[in-house]
Amino acid sequence: PSRGPVPDAADPSADLLPRLRAGDERAFEALFRAEFARLVASATWILKEQAEAEEVVQDVLLELWRHRERLVPGTSLPAYLHRAVRNRALNRVRHDRVVEKTLPHVAPPSPAPAADQRALSADLAQRLEHCVGRLPERCREVFELSRVHQLRYAEIAGSMGIALKTVEAQMGKAIRFLR
């Protein structure tokens, strides 16, 4: 009578699978020590960078540990890990290619404003503040609630006890005046 899959004599990690599924940390450590160097070498061949390869292998091993109870009995752990590392490394290569292709299309960060630009901005802010102060009281209050406190029109209408259309009209009036 058969008692399940026969462990592969060529696979020294075959006895680790049931122990891993049961949460045996020593089994995981043994698997880690036995396979880590080979997996890193395989990932390094694909990624051309050892640090990145080590990161990929660690991610795969961590996922294995997190989902250990899902491992199918009879699975060859070295084959499973090699395939998972290969796939993860190839995904990383694909991702890097996408990033390289899109990089020229991404706008470079804008340089810090020059001193004269900051002075102009400060002058403009001062003028705007002066003009807002000249708005009629209700119009100014609606404008400040919208632009300074960043409330939505419905929130402004509710807090001031006025209709939404009144808020819209007051904002329109304020913007026309400020222009």
- pTM of this structure: 0.52
Query: Cα(153)–Cα(145) distance, rounded to whole angstroms?
Result: 9
Name, in order, each residue with C-beta under 8 angstroms of 73's C-beta and a sequence gap of 6 or more: 4, 5, 17, 18, 21
Nearest Cα to 20, choosing from 52, 66, 58?
A: 66
**Within a 13 Å sphere around the CA of 16, how many CA atoms are in the beta-carbon half?**
20
Note the pLDDT tens digit of each residue in 6-28: 444 455 667 888 888 899 899 99
Query: Cα(124)–Cα(29) distance, rounded to whole angstroms?
Result: 65
Residue 40's pLDDT band, with cuts at 50, 70 and 90, is very high
DSSP assigned state of 26: H
Note the pLDDT tens digit of each residue in 58-107: 999 999 999 888 888 888 899 999 999 999 999 999 988 888 877 766 65
pLDDT, position 89: 93
